[in-house]
Amino acid sequence: MSFARKSFSTATPGYNSYVRCGETLILSRSQKIIRAILSINFLFALFFVVPVAHHFIDSILRGLESVGWGVAGVLMPLWVVASTLVATVLLIWETVRHRKRGRSVSPLAVDGTLLVAWWVTLLGFMAYGYALGLGG
């Protein structure tokens, strides 16, 4: 299955459409950023859920605190909030851009699904933290 660009020059700066060349799907820059952010976030979540990895991360953060880099533990929540908002804004921007150009929004379905899964994961973590707080 082969899709070609319609009336777009290959020399257009910043233009990297969803083009199928054979079976390879070329992603836009925004889509690559969204997937990278979500991959890093899911990796962090995995590190904090798996007990062995959690102890490893705790030892790293304690070691950073002992050498005066305790801010690393403070920046983690900031990263999670900021990166989630950036990924959400980028996905909305890509969707609007695709609709304005009259293109199908279906290439964004994977990114949208990943982003919704990340939001559900965050809400689950918040509910778990709230439930722990109620325990006294």
pLDDT tens, residue by residue, 68-120? 777 777 788 899 999 999 999 999 999 998 888 888 777 788 999 999 999 99
Provide CB contacts within 8 A for 10, sequence distance 6+: none
Distance of CA 8 to the CA centre of its chain: 29
pTM of this structure: 0.72
* Cα torsion 41, 78, 117, 91: sign: negative
Residue matched to tokens 């929004």 = 105
Q: Measured in Å, how far apart are the chain's first and last C-alpha atoms?
A: 59
Which amino acid is it at 68?
G
Looking at residue 11, its amino acid is A
